[in-house]
Chain A
């Protein structure tokens, strides 16, 4: 059974770089592709980035200059770095397995609040 668990700082300051980790269990991350998706409080879902098992990456054009997604195969983890954060980046951040254009399963999410 595939399970995903996000972890993050909880709180970040404006202009800083946000770092999130997603630990995957039940499968090797090299067997699939993965994504990060976020949801601001009370709002809809926004896809952030995608990493192929080969290491190729795709990004939402609105975030491509600030987001970096990567895999750590030794730890079976994927990560997200988001630079120059503002209050608009406050959201629940989810990781999910990406399978033929859909996301399944999802982690339970981690809330990140950006505030001075």
Chain B
């Protein structure tokens, strides 16, 4: 089973600045199967990024994903107050068929 470790646990950044969130895997992950989600309090997660770097429908270009192998990054530029949320990374392993999530990073906008 692949373990995803997200860092930092909590990040506090000012509006207009950039936030960089990390997701590290215990084994190599196929970039095709690395996704990021945003979850606001009381809401379900929303897909932001899939295939490590492709934005989901309707996601602004302030959100970008990068990385390969075991190290992946979600970058949010020009932060807005509405970006305050918990961000989860997720991977899919084909053999055996298994999905794993990171523990989440809480982003606070000062």
Q: A45: which of B32, B33, B90 is its contact (CB, 8 Å)?
A: B90
What B residues does A101 contact at CB under 8 A?
Answer: 32-33, 35, 50, 91-92, 99
Is the CB–CB distance between A102 and B47 below 8 Å? yes
A-B contact pairs, 18 of them (CB 8 A): A44-B101, A45-B101, A47-B101, A50-B97, A58-B96, A61-B98, A101-B50, A101-B92, A102-B33, A103-B37, A103-B90, A104-B50, A104-B56, A105-B47, A106-B45, A107-B44, A108-B43, A108-B44
Cβ-closest chain A residue relative to B6: A44
B15 at the interface (CB under 8 A from A): no
Which chain B residues in 68-110 approach chain A with CB under 8 Å? 88, 90-92, 96-104
Cβ-closest chain B residue relative to A103: B47
Which residues of B pack against A, CB within 8 Å? 1, 32-33, 35, 37, 43-47, 50, 56, 88, 90-92, 96-104
Is the CB–CB distance between A44 and B47 below 8 Å? no
Which chain A residues in 19-48 approach chain B with CB under 8 Å? 35, 44-47
What B residues does A106 contact at CB under 8 A?
Answer: 44-46
